[in-house]
């Protein structure tokens, strides 16, 4: 009987967060700290011909102004004749995007640094730039890693022969992560040893990046990041400011702190790329898909090729013998995009699930029925069986809860007084990933335990779920376990992203706890008359201070007494977990279904999402309280993506025009109405020992498509270009 796993558990770090005890990066107190403020370029492409820092250097409190002329080396110098690349800040006079850092002013106070940053005068030789993806589509190249898979079957011949076909183009603008906590770093040196506090999803990744940039051994660097106030992918790759902060601290021989302003965040950490997708679906009259051709294009930067694998998951969604899903990326004069919650999947599924809705109307088949007709019983890509797949049950339960059978399929046929009512649905998919991870557990004779792994907690509740897993397998109360994360002094863990933390780090914590039980059994078996002789480690469990036989709890030993008798103060175990070879025989995915109601004002074109039912199948649910919260958050973000999110760029200057939370719209409480999240649990012993699959990304994947489909049902207007703003409906 599980004591914690599967039960609603409040956050163990909740009190620290609401009382201000939890320290975020910029809040660490370091004596004698100096403050850095960034100066950003105002042209999108070209070179700096002159940079005048005299007035800034003479301003009150200024210690130094770093530019490409005096900053010192970061990373490897480009080989002779090679063009300078923008992977490290302040390394050349080249400008690759508007908003690129070109100087760092360091002063005694933040205000002094900020004031002096405005006194830096820069002259440029500007070059012609392109920031509009549409203008460079013809220059897009196939992404070698994600976009070059050969076609399945013969899609073009099947498309020609299809009885019914739909073809459409779908567009998603650039979108920005806007976490509450701005990115920040504080760096200080003690001899050759660097300690840096950084807002990151991957402390080991930042350590490696800084070792390369600063040319010092990774072992000389400690990266600390105990709390992250939201990141959503914006801190997966090392950003440019930690290396700059560490460089300044080394040069000045004192601690330096750099914090982004909200506007600086828009060019400081990547974004969801601008995407154009061309989708063609072919089917017979009964609705069986015979061909899917799904071409995606998105932008990258001029100096780095990035891909979010837009068409990766769509290959595994429907049973269709003929499919081609290429992805091409085109260089633009903008900063490099990055992963943003549900990267690739939410973009690809917006196009595919909108097209499926269009096909349903062309065939006069219910959209849910069309999905069931094309349900994939095995992975259409590899032919492997699924380790588990409860999507059919998600559809059934969602339709029943939502009242889908009462839907009149005719657009503009349903009303609530003056308002048009629309019902739409979509499917979602995400991987059930597991990465290698390591955790350390120390069990003490007083019945307390410390657990550590260098993972992150960007908000999903990692502190809590790891504490639950450790307490479960050590047989302790939650308050007897202390879990620590976000420090390169802890065992290595993967970046927190991809919804793989619980499966990866959780499996390592479980493994380390079981290793403690095995060590205790070993101690117990040294007694000749032990009730534990002839027992295997797999047959015992720890509970309430006793090591006992699972099949016969009366056979047990008191752990504290055992440790006293054997003069053992504490036992430490480190466990490395990795995916089992068994997984290779199966396809493992998490699935879900979304049913959405919208109300549209026909005079104003305003859309309100009045009701959402989200059904999710992602293995075992370890903490339902946090899990429902994760899914609600995903739905809210999906509503934002469908109706509000858009980064506006003035292509004349390559400049972002709405780099603020005043002008970049995200959902507020008034935008959010009834959201119900339901889990269909799967018993999957193949994905990992805990049976969990990812859910953090999955929650938003189908939402934008479901909303767009509901808007069509309400209005008869098919909006293929996000966000769905009132002007597009009038």
Q: Length of the chain, please?
A: 730
Burial of 582 (0-12, 13-18, 19+ CB in 10 A): exposed
Q: Cα(61)–Cα(369) distance, rounded to whole angstroms?
A: 69
Enter the tokens of residue 592.
Answer: 């879900």
Q: Cα(662)–Cα(660) distance, rounded to whole angstroms?
A: 5
Contacts of 662 (CB under 8 A, 6+ apart): none
Q: Cα(722)–Cα(173) distance, rounded to whole angstroms?
A: 7
381 three-class SS: coil
Query: In this structure, are residues 612 and 703 in contact, taking their beta carbons and an 8 Å threshold?
Result: yes
Radius of gyration of the chain (CA): 28
Packing angle, helices 462-474 and 501-524, rounded to 10: 20
Which of the following is catalytic: 353, 541, 614, 697?
Answer: 697
Let me know the angle formed at the C-alpha of 316 by 314 and 318, rounded to the nearest 5 degrees.
Answer: 85
Q: Cα(390)–Cα(475) distance, rounded to whole angstroms?
A: 32
Q: Cα(54)–Cα(76) distance, rounded to whole angstroms?
A: 29
Enter the tokens of residue 505.
Answer: 């780090």
Q: How far is CA 422 from CA 192, 413, 419, 615, 668, in A?
A: 63, 9, 10, 19, 22
Q: Cα(242)–Cα(581) distance, rounded to whole angstroms?
A: 38
Contacts of 195 (CB under 8 A, 6+ apart): 187, 188, 189, 221, 222, 224
111 has catalytic annotation: no
Contacts of 467 (CB under 8 A, 6+ apart): 12, 451, 478, 481, 482, 483
Enter the tokens of residue 523.
Answer: 């101690």
Enter the tokens of residue 19.
Answer: 């009382």
200 three-class SS: coil
Residue 96 CA to its chain's centroid (Å):
26
Q: Cα(59)–Cα(77) distance, rounded to whole angstroms?
A: 33
431 three-class SS: strand
Query: In this structure, are residues 694 and 633 in contact, taking their beta carbons and an 8 Å threshold?
Result: no
Q: Cα(655)–Cα(675) distance, rounded to whole angstroms?
A: 37
Residues belonging to the active site: 697
């Amino acid at each position: 009987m599980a004591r914690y796993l599967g039960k609603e558990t409040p956050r163990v770090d909740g009190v620290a967060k609401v009382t201000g005890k939890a320290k975020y990066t910029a809040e660490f107190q370091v004596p004698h700290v100096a403050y850095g403020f960034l100066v950003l370029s105002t042209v999108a492409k070209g070179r700096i011909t002159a940079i005048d820092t005299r007035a800034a250097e003479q301003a009150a409190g200024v210690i130094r102004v770093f530019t490409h002329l005096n900053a010192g080396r970061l990373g490897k110098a480009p080989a002779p004749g090679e063009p300078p690349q923008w992977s490290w800040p302040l390394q050349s006079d080249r400008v690759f995007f508007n908003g690129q850092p070109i100087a760092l002013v360091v002063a005694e106070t933040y205000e002094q640094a900020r004031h002096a940053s405005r006194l830096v005068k820069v002259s440029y030789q500007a070059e012609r730039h392109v920031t509009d993806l549409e203008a460079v589509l013809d220059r897009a190249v196939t992404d070698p890693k994600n976009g070059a898979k050969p076609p399945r079957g013969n899609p073009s011949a099947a498309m020609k022969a299809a009885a019914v076909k739909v073809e459409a183009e779908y567009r998603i603008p650039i979108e920005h992560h806007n976490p509450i906590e701005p990115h920040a770093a504080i760096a200080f040196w003690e001899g050759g040893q660097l300690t840096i506090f950084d807002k990151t999803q991957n402390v080991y990744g930042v350590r490696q990046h800084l070792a390369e940039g600063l040319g010092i051994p990774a072992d000389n660097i400690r990266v600390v990041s105990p709390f992250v106030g939201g990141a959503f992918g914006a801190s997966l790759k090392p950003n440019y400011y930690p290396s700059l902060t560490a460089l300044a601290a080394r040069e000045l021989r004192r601690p330096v702190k750099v914090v982004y302003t909200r506007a600086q965040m828009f060019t400081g950490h990547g974004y969801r790329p601008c995407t154009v997708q061309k989708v063609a679906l072919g089917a017979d009259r009964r609705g069986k898909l015979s061909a899917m051709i799904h071409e995606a294009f998105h932008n990258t930067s001029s100096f780095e090729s990035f891909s979010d694998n837009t068409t990766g998951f769509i290959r595994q969604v429907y049973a269709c013998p003929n499919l081609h899903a290429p992805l091409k990326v085109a260089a633009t004069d903008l900063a490099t995009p990055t992963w943003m919650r549900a990267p690739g999947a939410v973009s690809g599924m917006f196009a595919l699930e909108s097209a499926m809705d269009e096909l349903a109307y062309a065939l006069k088949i219910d959209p849910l029925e069309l999905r069931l007709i094309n349900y994939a019983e095995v992975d259409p890509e590899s032919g492997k069986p699924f380790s588990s797949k409860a999507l059919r049950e998600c559809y059934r339960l969602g339709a029943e809860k939502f009242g889908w059978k009462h839907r009149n399929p005719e657009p503009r046929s349903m009303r609530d007084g003056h308002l048009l009512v629309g019902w739409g649905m979509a499917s979602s998919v995400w991987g059930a990933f597991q990465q290698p991870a390591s955790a350390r557990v120390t069990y003490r004779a007083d019945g307390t335990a410390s657990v550590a792994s260098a993972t992150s907690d960007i908000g999903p509740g990692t502190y809590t779920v790891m504490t639950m897993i450790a307490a479960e397998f050590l047989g302790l109360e939650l308050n007897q376990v202390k879990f620590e994360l976000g420090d390169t002094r802890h065992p290595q863990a993967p970046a927190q992203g991809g919804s793989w933390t619980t499966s990866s780090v959780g499996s390592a914590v479980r493994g380390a706890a079981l290793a403690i039980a095995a060590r205790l059994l070993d101690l117990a078996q040294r007694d000749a008359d032990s009730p534990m002789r002839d027992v295997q480690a797999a047959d015992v469990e720890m509970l309430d201070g006793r090591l006992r036989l699972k099949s016969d709890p009366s056979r047990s030993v008191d752990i504290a007494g055992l440790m006293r008798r054997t003069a053992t103060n504490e036992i430490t175990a480190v466990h490395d977990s990795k995916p089992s070879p068994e997984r290779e025989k199966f396809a493992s995915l998490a699935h879900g279904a979304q049913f959405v109601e919208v109300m549209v004002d026909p005079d104003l074109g305003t859309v309100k999402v009045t009701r959402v039912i989200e059904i999710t199948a992602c293995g075992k649910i370890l903490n339902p309280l946090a899990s429902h919260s994760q899914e609600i958050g995903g739905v809210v973000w999906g509503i934002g993506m469908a109706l509000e999110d858009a980064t506006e760029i003035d292509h004349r200057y390559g400049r972002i025009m709405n780099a603020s939370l005043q002008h970049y719209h995200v959902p507020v409480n008034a935008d959010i109405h009834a959201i119900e999240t339901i889990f269909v649990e799967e018993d999957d012993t193949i994905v990992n020992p805990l049976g969990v699959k990812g859910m953090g990304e999955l929650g938003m994947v189908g939402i934008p498509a479901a909303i767009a489909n509901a808007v069509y049902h309400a209005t008869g207007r098919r909006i293929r270009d996000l966000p769905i703003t009132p002007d597009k409906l009038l």
